[in-house]
Amino acid sequence: MLGRAYSGDDSGENPPVLELDEIARFANEPVRRADGLHWNVAALREAVLDGLADAAASAARRGERIASIGIDAWAVDYGLLRHGELVAGPRHYRDARHEAGVDAVHRLVPFPELYARNGLQFLPFNTLYQFAADPDLREYAASGIEHDGDDLDAHRSDVSDGDHRGGDGIVLVPDLFAYWLTGVRVAEETNASTTGLVPAGEPEPRWDAELAERVGVPAGILPPIVRPGSLIGTLTPEIATRLDLPESTPVVAVGSHDTASAVVATPFAVPGSAFVSCGTWGLVGVESPRPVLTAEARDAGFTNERGVDGTTRLLHNVMGLWVLNECVRAWGEVTDLPTLLTAAARVDTRFTVFDIDDPRLMPQGDMPARVAQLCAEAGGAVPATHTEFVRSIVESLAEAFARAAARASTLTGVPLGTINLVGGGARNALLCQATADRAGVPVVAGPVEATALGNVLVQARTAGAIGGILGDLRRLVIATQPTTRYEPR
């Protein structure tokens, strides 16, 4: 995405601007190998670099300059670098191997203690469990690590000397792309907090070295943590040439966790607003000034992820559009989602609300069969047609969204006002209406591209094009981005 953002001024002559040009869109297909499910980061690297080169060319044609580059991506997964080379690429969080790490970690640190320290909802793929199940990491740690990675400035100067020792250790997915652009290996705060190794509730982010040691993760493999808005580095000569951009082009840390960026650009307009960031996952919660680490939050499966500007995203991971998209994939090309959704809106009684958070829905596989099974277990009608499946899934998602939003408001003690639904799910009118109906509060849907907007907003603030606190950034979203309101029926 090529983004532009200016605050504008009060004269009315210079209105606020926040816009995106979509330069490239590419599939992100996981690859199954004999040893499990992986991401194809080599293909993604090429697609990102081609997209950035096109963005640079597009800006140049308009007589504009790329002020900075910001990267966000999904959470928890990581790769392993040695001497600057990726020696083990990220495994997919849906890979079955991670589960082996769960017992290993909980034997050493019982879950209640873990929650009190890191505030994370139990998900079998949290990075901590992935580490515990990763033989490459153990072997790598045993063979010695050459760089302790703590001193970011020393590391940057190593990079400018062409010495990539700092590229030794683990790197989370968005930071891997930043590394490829700059040669500088960091862990951006919002995403670092999804590893389970960052203490919840401290103003400054840091690695919990004691916890890391206890679960056998050498703290030396963890990169320095940087906060959104800070400079990661500038382009390496090779990348600058390929993109036809100056080497001085800054790569700026944004909310590199996609959900963190999405929440930055969520147009909260009333107190008690909850968010649903709805793409592959449905992340449902509230922005809170501090984490909520109570037994109630823990038992309700609420996570405390670090947000931009020291905020906390108190949220629950709901299965999201994954279930629907996997069904459509299983049914083949005969069906397209918009047509199915229109037909599904006309299904009246033959649908069943089932537990869409059931962990059996997490892995790849025969999704329609699993949905049918869950409908039967819920004691309802088993869908017989594609449209009945779609309606059952949409209603079940809406129910899970409504329940999680209500629970978030109970946990914080702030009554639920409105639900802001952002991301691809905001296009799904059936889902938005069903969420409003089931929650009994209005749903404000949009922007669809909240993640990219949140990324651009943090960059624009760093560049000095806009100022202010998160509320000011969101005012710019409210002033420029259309939304659709669904009243509960």
Contact positions vs ligand LRH (CB under 6 A): 74-76, 93, 257-259, 279-281, 283, 317
Single-letter code of the amino acid located at 390: V
Smallest separation, CB 74 to ligand LRH (Å): 4
Residue whose CB is less far from ligand LRH, 427 or 475? 427
Q: Are 173 and 90 in contact (CB under 8 A)?
A: yes
What amino acid positions are annotated as catalytic residues?
258
Residues 6+ apart with CB under 8 A from 450: 261, 262, 263, 265, 266, 277, 422, 423
Residue 359: CB atoms within 10 A of its CB come to 11
Closest by alpha carbon to 182, among 166, 159, 202, 205?
A: 159
Neighbour-count burial for 16-44, b at 16+ CB within 10 Å, e otherwise = bbbebeebeeeeeeeeeeeeebbbbbeeb
Q: Are 69 and 52 in contact (CB under 8 A)?
A: yes
**Residue written as token pair 């040439």:** 241
Residue 373 CA to its chain's centroid (Å): 29
Q: How many residues does the chain have?
A: 489
Cα within 13 Å of Cα(223), Cβ side:
37
C-alpha to C-alpha distance for 119 and 312, rounded to whole angstroms: 10
Residue whose CB is less far from ligand LRH, 68 or 259? 259
Question: Rg of the Cα trace of the chain?
Answer: 22
Neighbour-count burial for 312-334, b at 16+ CB within 10 Å, e otherwise = bbbbbbbbbbbbbbbbbeeeeee
